[in-house]
């Protein structure tokens, strides 16, 4: 009889849990951590419009940005019972500076050791490729031919690619554009002989011009994560809290579905 009763209770619990997949949302949230997480009572989220994989640009027909990071931000707000304020920037560098100035609570940015001095990262949620582009008449055919004395690589200032190439490039020269969106325009106006950046951004910008080609492959893989300021008293708990959400959104298919909805190609959900 006891075994029958025990089995019945177990089956009942499994049924209840199956009907409440968001049961984790009902767990008590650490109030001290939440006060540090969103001190104004609103979750202020930095959105990088300079990376088309992460967010779409704003125009009169689309007054609000849209994209994977917006979907994730709103889901974090829902789970945290916080209103969300989306604050758009044209470059990752500007977002990082705003976070350091305590104007933002979370940002979506590439994991980088230099930024890591001030930013605590969750696990990556998306992997993006960094690529090179040259003019059709360029003698450069492969990545091995880029880091050569005399070559000039145009890259968005303070972007993940700028930080990476600053460490890795030994012989070529880096020429920095104002932001990632300016790279191809600067390149076509005569600046440098190689353009570097997000593969999708370069491909999209190249459609506005003729006689450009991408070098095959990639020069780096960018791991995009959520960043929080280390200046917050509870930043370690905040990072752990957000890391749990990120992992759930990856395993549940939320991020993959968001990428599909927004037509994102050439990137994948991080492992």
Least confident of 137-146, 160-169, 230-239: 160-169
- The larger pLDDT score, comparing residue 168 to residue 19, is at 168
Integer Rg of the chain from CA: 22
Q: Which tens digits make up the pLDDT trace of 233-245?
A: 999 999 999 999 9
The H or E element that residue 175 is part of is strand 173-177
Domain count, the chain: 2
Residues 122 and 177 in one domain: no
Report the pLDDT value the prediction gives residue 222, as an integer from 0 to 100.
85
Residues 207 and 194 in one domain: yes
Q: Which tens digits make up the pLDDT trace of 167-224?
A: 899 999 999 998 777 889 999 999 999 999 888 778 888 888 888 999 998 888 889 9
Distance CA 34, CA 47 (A): 21
Residues 136 and 256 in one domain: no
Report the pLDDT value the prediction gives residue 24, as an integer from 0 to 100.
43
pLDDT of 152 higher than 80? yes
Distance CA 265, CA 217 (A): 15
First-residue to last-residue Cα distance in the chain? 46
Nearest residue to 216 (alpha-carbon basis) of 136, 130, 141: 141
Give residue 27's pLDDT band: very low, low, confident or very high (50, 70, 90): low
- The larger pLDDT score, comparing residue 83 to residue 24, is at 83
The residue segments making up the domain with residue 162 are 128-220
Report the pLDDT value the prediction gives residue 253, as an integer from 0 to 100.
94
The single-letter DSSP state of residue 84 is E
Residues 187 and 78 in one domain: no
pLDDT of 135 higher than 80? yes
Residue 12 resides in a domain: no
Entry pTM = 0.71
Contact in structure between 228 and 98 (CB atoms under 8 Å): no
């Amino acid at each position: 009889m006891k075994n029958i009763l025990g089995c019945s209770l177990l089956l009942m619990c499994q049924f209840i849990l199956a009907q409440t997949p968001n049961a984790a949302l009902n767990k008590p949230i650490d109030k001290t951590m939440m006060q540090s997480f969103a001190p104004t009572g609103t979750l202020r989220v930095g959105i990088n419009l300079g990376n088309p994989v992460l967010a779409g640009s704003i125009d009169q027909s689309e007054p609000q940005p849209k994209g994977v990071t917006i979907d994730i931000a709103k889901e974090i707000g829902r789970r945290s019972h916080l209103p969300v304020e989306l604050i758009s920037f044209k470059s990752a560098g500007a977002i990082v500076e705003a976070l350091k100035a305590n104007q933002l609570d979370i940002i979506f940015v590439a994991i980088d050791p230099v930024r890591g001095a001030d930013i605590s990262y969750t696990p990556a949620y998306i992997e993006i490729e960094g690529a090179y582009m040259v003019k059709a008449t360029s003698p450069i055919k492969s990545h091995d031919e880029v880091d050569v004395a005399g070559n000039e690589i145009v890259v968005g200032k303070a972007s993940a690619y700028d930080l990476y190439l600053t460490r890795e490039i030994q012989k070529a020269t880096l020429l920095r554009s104002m932001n990632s969106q300016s790279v191809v325009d600067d390149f076509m106006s005569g600046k440098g002989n190689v353009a570097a950046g997000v593969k999708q951004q370069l491909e999209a910008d190249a459609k506005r011009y003729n006689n450009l080609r991408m070098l095959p492959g990639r020069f780096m893989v960018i791991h995009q994560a959520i960043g929080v300021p280390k200046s917050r008293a509870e930043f370690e708990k905040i990072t752990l809290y957000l890391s749990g959400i990120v992992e759930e959104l990856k395993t549940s298919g939320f991020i993959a579905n968001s990428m599909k909805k927004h037509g994102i190609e050439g990137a994948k959900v991080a492992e």
